[in-house]
Structure 1
Amino acid sequence: MLTLSVIVPAHNEESGLPATLEALLRQTVPAERIIVVDDGSIDRTGEVAASYGVTVVRPPHNLGSKARAQNFALPYCDTDLVLAVDADTVLADDYIELIKPAFDDERVVIAAGCVQSRFERTWTERGRSIEYLYGFHWNRPIQNMANSPTVCSGCCSVFRRRPLVDFGGFPERTIVEDMDYTWSAQMMGQKAVYVAKAVAWAADPEDLTYLRKQDWRWMAGFAQNVRLHLWRMIPRKPVLALWILLALWEIVTAPLWLAVPFIAPLMGGSWVGTVGWWAGLEVGLTLPPLLYAAKRRKLPVIRVLRNLPCVYLMKFVNIYYAWKALVVELLLVPLRLSKGLTVYEKGRPDPSPVPIS
């Protein structure tokens, strides 16, 4: 039986950490060790973690990124597998039990489950819940069937420890270590897998301020990985490269698609007719996967439909930061006109972001 350690990087997480640790301690297949990295917290994060009887390690100073905090804890792990869990993520009680069998295949070095939203209180949380339902019940299963998932979510990924250590630990060269390692492993001939039955609930940005921070980090990190990996990926992992190219195409064409209802009348078309076919096509492509996801997760359909309009507000934010990421990371950085995104900020309040050198 494969053994497993858990690493929970935590910076000022005293409020969210209890739910995360309680879920880890309820696992039907328990972890051999749970390690909380109290990464320069100025609140009671360390005290809260210690009260649950888990191992608490403290770097001498704030390390400034999740990957660095995870790497600080990695030498404390002597198990076959390492599960990295964000300090605001709650795992289903059977998460470890369901995800461990993926590693019966010795080629698998990273696996992650289905991420869903913990809360649906604000428009940003509701919009993110729709994105998760669509992504984890449409895009991710298709990618997994093609043996080329684009990312194993960093909030709940399990890693085979030895290959991770041999790689040099969690990658610190980009702002999104989960995508970096997922792509790197597959390009080396190893496998990444999506385990749909294993569910994790993540806390999402509660307002526009923190949605912007999270979107910028995610989109800049994606573009950093494109710059770092894409050309080498095409011959080594062509199907994965195809998903990345399709994502780039979607980013480039998204503003035009959203502008169609407004442009058509200016070109002499019928506004009512244009909006009709545009909305029909949009709903026709979006609704079936959402209804399937609602059934799969036993969610009330009315709740999903209520949240659907919020995702269109988020699209404008997503597109802005996606385009900004392409310009900054793929154009200005190579021209040495920008350093790109080097500061790791969470999608929730973080009083002391630290630059990545």
Structure 2
Amino acid sequence: MTTICAIVPAHNEEQGLGDTLESLLSQTRPFDEIIVVDDSSTDGTREVALSYGVTVFTAETNQGSKARAQNYALRYVWTDLVLPVDADTILAEDYVALILEPFDNPRVAIAAGCVLTRFDDTVTERGRSIEYLFGFHFQRPIQNAANSPVVCSGCCSVFRTEELRTFGGFPERTVVEDMDYTWSKQAQGRKAVYVGAALAKAADPATMTYLRKQVWRWMSGFFQNVRIHGASLMRHKPVLLLWILIAVWDIVTAPLWYAMPFLMIFVFHYGVLVSMLWWLGAEVVLLFPPLLYGAHRRKIPYRQVIRNFPYVYVNKVVNTYYAWKAMLVELILVPLRLSDGLVTYEKGRP
């Protein structure tokens, strides 16, 4: 029987850690071990973890990133598979049972499920809820069908333990270890899998301050990986490289798309109403079918999706700004040795 261990890296997570551990302890297919890494917390994280009867390791000094905290625990993992879970993420009760299925195929090195937002109370959370609903019900299934997932989400991915150890553990050379490992393994001829039926819910940035920090890290990490893996993927995994180039194209052309109504009005002299209706109509046609499908599949009220939809444009502005900034820094300034790029890991929540 395949064995599996959960690792929960936790730095000052006493408020939400209990919910995460309850979801891990409530799995229909139980974990063989649950390890919490108390990453030098200054609050009651360790006490909360101990109260649930799980294994707790406390780092004497803060590890500085999620990958390092996970590697701190990896040395103690004895199971066949390991599943790192963010301390603000909860797993559906059948998550483990579903995520184990792809590992019957020995070519599979990593698998992850569908991620949705836990909360949609603030502007940034509502915008993220639309981003996740679209991405995990349009982009990820297509990428998976092409055997080229761009990322197995770090909050809920499963790894083969010994293969991960042989690789050197969770990658620490970039600020997004999940994408780094996903691309590395596929370049080596191994398989990454998206399991849409397995559902995780993550707590996302509730304020603009933390949204900016998270998006800056995500975008910097994306372009760090483009710089590191681009040549290797061209040789060994061109289909994955194609999806990456499509993402880069979307980033490059995003400002033009958002400026299109103004170009229609001031350059091509269309009416304001016609220009705005054309642009909004195109957005609805492109975005709403996957959103409605996702809402139907996850039993999310359609009115909730419609209510949250306008807020996605707040997130899109932030995404576009930091994507361009990361592209310039990581692909131009870093190779020219004019910048070190982003090296400090910052969480997307307090």
TM-score bracket, shorter-length normalisation: over 0.9
Q: How many residues are paired up?
A: 349
What is the rounded CA distance, in whole Å, between the counterparts of 1:83 and 1:196 in structure 2? 17
Q: Separation in 2 of the partners of 1:177 and 1:195?
A: 20
- Give a deviation string over 1:33-52, Cα, whole Å, max 9, x none: 00000001110101110110
Deviations 1:271-296 (Å, cap 9, x if unpaired)? 32222221111110000000000100
The yes-or-no answer on 1:309 pairing with 2:310 is: yes
| Counterparts of 1:60 and 1:186, CA distance in 2 | 35
Query: 2:193 aligns to what?
Result: 193
Q: Which residue of 1 aligns with 2:246?
A: 246
SS of 1:82's partner is strand
1:346 corresponds in structure 2 to 347
**1:97 maps onto 2:120 in alignment:** no
Runs of 4+ in 1 over 6 A off after TM superposition: none
1:265: how far off? 1.6
Q: Determine the C-alpha separation between the residues in 2 that align with 1:50 and 1:255.
A: 49
Q: Percent identity?
A: 65
Q: How does 1:10-89 map to 2 (within 5 A)?
A: 10-89=10-89
Write the distance in 1 (CA, Å) between the matches of 2:153 and 2:18: 21
Give the structure 2 partner of residue 123 of structure 1. Answer: 123
Q: Do structure 1's residue 236 and structure 2's residue 232 form an aligned pair? A: no
Q: Which amino acid aligns with 1:299?
A: I
How far apart, CA to CA, are the structure 2 residues paired with 1:300 and 1:86?
Answer: 27
CA distance in 1, matches of 2:82, 2:69: 14
| Aligned-partner Cα distance in 2 for 1:48–1:273 | 57
> Whole-Å Cα distance in 2 between the matches of residues 44 and 80 of structure 1?
31
Distance 2:278 2:234 in 1: 36
Corresponding residue of 1:276: 277
Report the alpha carbon displacement of residue 87 of structure 1 after superposing the two structures with TM.
0.3
**1:200-239 pair list within 5 angstroms:** 200-239=200-239
Structure 1 CA distance, aligned partners of 2:181 and 2:324?
24
Structure 2: give runs of 5+ residues left out of the alignment. Answer: none
The reply to whether residue 133 of structure 1 matches residue 133 of structure 2 is yes
The one-letter code matched in structure 2 to 1:251 is I
TM-score normalized by the length of structure 1 = 0.97
SS at match of 2:254: helix
Q: Tell me the CA shift for residue 216 of structure 1.
A: 0.3
| Letter paired with 1:256 | L
1:155 is matched with: 155
SS at match of 2:154: coil
Shift of 1:263: 2.0
Report the Cα distance in structure 2 between the residues aligned to 1:38 and 1:244, rounded to whole angstroms: 35
Q: Which amino acid aligns with 1:57?
A: F
RMSD between superposed Cα atoms in Å: 0.7
What are the superposed Cα offsets for residues 27-66 of structure 1, whole Å, 9 maximum, x if unpaired? 0000110000000111010111011000000122101000
Distance 2:303 2:269 in 1: 34
Structure 1 residue identity aligned to 2:322: Y
For structure 1, the 5+ residue unaligned runs are 350-357
Counterparts of 1:146 and 1:296, CA distance in 2: 22
Give, in whole Å, the separation in 2 of the partners of 1:294 and 1:56: 38
Map of 2:144 onto structure 1? 144
Distance between the aligned counterparts of 1:269 and 1:19, measured in 2? 55
Tell me how far 1:231 sits from its aligned partner.
1.6
Pairing 1:318–2:325 present: no
Q: Hey, what's the Cα distance between the residues in 2 that align with 1:346 and 1:267? A: 43
> CA offsets, 1:272-329, max 9 Å, x none?
2222221111110000000000100011100000000000111111000000000111
**SS in structure 1 of the partner of residue 70 of structure 2:** helix
How much does 1:152 deviate? Answer: 0.2
CA distance in 1, matches of 2:236, 2:13: 40
Residue aligned with 1:229, SS: helix
Residue type matched to 1:342 in 2?
A: V
Shift in Å at residue 269 of structure 1? Answer: 2.0
- Give the 3-state SS of the residue equivalent to 1:307 in structure 2: helix
The Cα offsets for residues 117-151 of structure 1, whole Å up to 9 and x where unpaired, read as 00010010010000000000000000000000000
